[in-house]
Structure 1
Amino acid sequence: MADNFEKLECWKKCFELKLFIKEKVILALPDSEKFDLRSQILRASRSATANIAEGWGRYHYKENVKFLLNARGSVAEVLDHALEAHSWNYITKENLAEIRNTTDSCIRLLNGYIKYLRKQNE
């Protein structure tokens, strides 16, 4: 087990996703989406890393898994918002492809960590 949540590969990858959203997506969205899509996708990307950190800080494996499942849901939400942004021509297909690849990696890493924690609890 990592001695700090920042050393978890799933947190690192989700942090990478959050930075990409902030640097490449948020700036591409129109002002009319400031309180809708822009807010939603940024909050979802922040939620993923925050849930991993909060779960890591919990004492019991089951509590940690609950927060990891929430993080996985937030990552899926980021992809959903990105699909919406692309369908409205706010972001490029290249940015969508990068988001899709990164969210896939995030989910694989989260699933692996969840599996690891569940085995520790057997």
Structure 2
Amino acid sequence: MDKFKFEKLIIWQKAMDFGEVIDKLSLEFPDREKFNLSSQICRASDSIALNISEGSIGQSNLEQKKFIGYSIRSLAEVVTCLFKAKRKNYITEKQFTYLYDESYHLMNMMSAFRKNIN
């Protein structure tokens, strides 16, 4: 069914999966965080896949590299939100470690992808 080229990108697929995990996790945060940390972490995690897809439609390789950079920055924002959630005891150490490792793996994949754009 892949009608858009970004659908074939493993980094886009992984970013989509990662966003769903983060969304589910944020539902466990206290209600008082609905418009704060929950909203922030969901927007940032969604932005990862959104920027990958937007960059893939671009007119130039330079533009695609720029949007992958935006995705990496959004991922860094998610990681910071994870640290905040851990400090506030909204997530366990085990949840944090798993998502931190997933974030690091995704960042490495995106960095390698960006380097290979000619």
TM bucket normalised to smaller: over 0.9
Letter in 1 for 2:99: I
Separation in 2, partners of 1:112, 1:9: 12
Q: Deviations over 1:90-113 (max 9, x none)?
A: 011111112111111111111111
C-alpha deviation, 1:12, in angstroms: 1.5
**Paired amino acid for 1:7:** K
5+ residue gaps, structure 2, are none
Could you state the TM-score of these two structures normalised by the residue count of structure 1? Answer: 0.90
- Indicate the RMSD between aligned Cα atoms, in angstroms: 1.0
Is 2:32 aligned against 1:26?
no
Q: How many angstroms apart in 2 are the aligned matches of 1:7 and 1:98?
A: 25
Question: Offset of 1:27 from its aligned partner?
Answer: 1.6
Which stretches of structure 1, 4 residues or longer, exceed 2 Å deviation after superposition? none
Could you tell me how far apart the structure 1 residues matched to 2:92 and 2:16 are? 21
State the Cα deviation string for residues 22-77 of structure 1 (Å, max 9, x = none): 12x21210000010001000000000000000000101000000000000000111
Distance 1:88 1:30 in 2: 10
Match of 2:40 in 1: 40
**Partner SS state of residue 116, structure 2:** helix
CA distance in 1, matches of 2:74, 2:50: 10
Aligned amino acid, residue 37 of structure 1: L
Q: Equivalent residue of 1:90, what SS?
A: coil
Inter-partner Cα distance in structure 1 for 2:44 and 2:116: 24
Q: Distance in 1 between matches of 2:7 and 2:23?
A: 19
| Structure 1 equivalent of residue 10 of structure 2 | 9
RCO comparison, higher one (Cα < 8 Å, 6+): 1
Correspondences of 1:70-109 after superposition (within 5 Å):
70-109=70-109
Count of aligned positions: 115
TM-score, scaled to structure 2: 0.93
Is the 1:13–1:102 Cα contact (8 Å) retained in structure 2? no
Identity of aligned residues (%): 33
